[in-house]
Amino acid sequence: MQFWTLDEIEQHAMADHEVGEEISPGVTITRRRILQIGLAGAASLLVGGCATPGRKIDTARGSAGRLLTIDQLVARLRPDATQLIASDRPDETAYLAAVSSLLTRYNPDEPWAMNEMGESGWSMNTAAWMPPVVVFDIRMRPGSKIHLHDHRHYNGVLLCTEGSVRCRNFDIVQPDGQRLNIAAGEVPTDTDFLIRQNKDTTLGHGQLSTLSRDRDNIHHIEAGPDGCSLADLFTYFRREARSYELEWDGQPLSKNGDTYKVAWKS
| SS3 at position 11 | helix
Residue 160 interacting with Fe ion (CB under 5 A): no
Task: Tell me which amino acid residue 125 is.
Answer: N
Q: In the complex, what is the shortest distance from the CB of residue 219 to Fe ion, in angstroms, rounded to a whole number?
A: 5
Q: In the complex, what is the shortest distance from the CB of residue 232 to Fe ion, in angstroms, rounded to a whole number?
A: 7
Residue 208 interacting with Fe ion (CB under 5 A): no
Q: Of 6, 78, 7, nearest to 48 (Cα)?
A: 78
Which C-beta is closer to Fe ion: that of 23 or that of 230? Answer: 230
User: DSSP character for 179?
Assistant: -
Which C-beta is closer to Fe ion: that of 1 or that of 165? Answer: 1
Q: In the complex, what is the shortest distance from the CB of residue 150 to Fe ion, in angstroms, rounded to a whole number?
A: 8
Residues, the chain, total? 266
Which C-beta is closer to Fe ion: that of 1 or that of 86? Answer: 1
Residue 124 interacting with Fe ion (CB under 5 A): no
Residue 228 interacting with Fe ion (CB under 5 A): no
Q: In the complex, what is the shortest distance from the CB of residue 231 to Fe ion, in angstroms, rounded to a whole number?
A: 12
248 neighbors 265 (Cβ within 8 angstroms): no
Alpha-carbon gap, residue 74 to 90, rounded angstroms: 19
Which C-beta is closer to Fe ion: that of 1 or that of 182? Answer: 1
Q: In the complex, what is the shortest distance from the CB of residue 152 to Fe ion, in angstroms, rounded to a whole number?
A: 11
Which C-beta is closer to Fe ion: that of 1 or that of 135? Answer: 1
Q: What is the DSSP string of 184-246?
A: GT----SSSEEEEEEEEEEE-TT-EEEE-SSSS-EEEEEEEEEEEEEEEEEEESSTT-B--BE
Q: In the complex, what is the shortest distance from the CB of residue 141 to Fe ion, in angstroms, rounded to a whole number?
A: 17
The residue range among 1-9, 65-73, 94-102, 117-125 that interacts with Fe ion, by the rule CB under 5 A, is: 1-9
Alpha-carbon gap, residue 229 to 160, rounded angstroms: 6
Is the torsion defined by CA of 85, 87, 93, 99 positive or negative?
negative
Q: In the complex, what is the shortest distance from the CB of residue 32 to Fe ion, in angstroms, rounded to a whole number?
A: 25
Alpha-carbon gap, residue 205 to 96, rounded angstroms: 19
Residue 1 interacting with Fe ion (CB under 5 A): yes
CB atoms within 10 A of CB 257: 11
Which C-beta is closer to Fe ion: that of 29 or that of 211? Answer: 211
Site for Fe ion in 2-41 (CB under 5 A): none
Count residues binding Fe ion (CB under 5 A).
Answer: 1
Which residues here bind Fe ion, judged by CB under 5 A?
A: 1
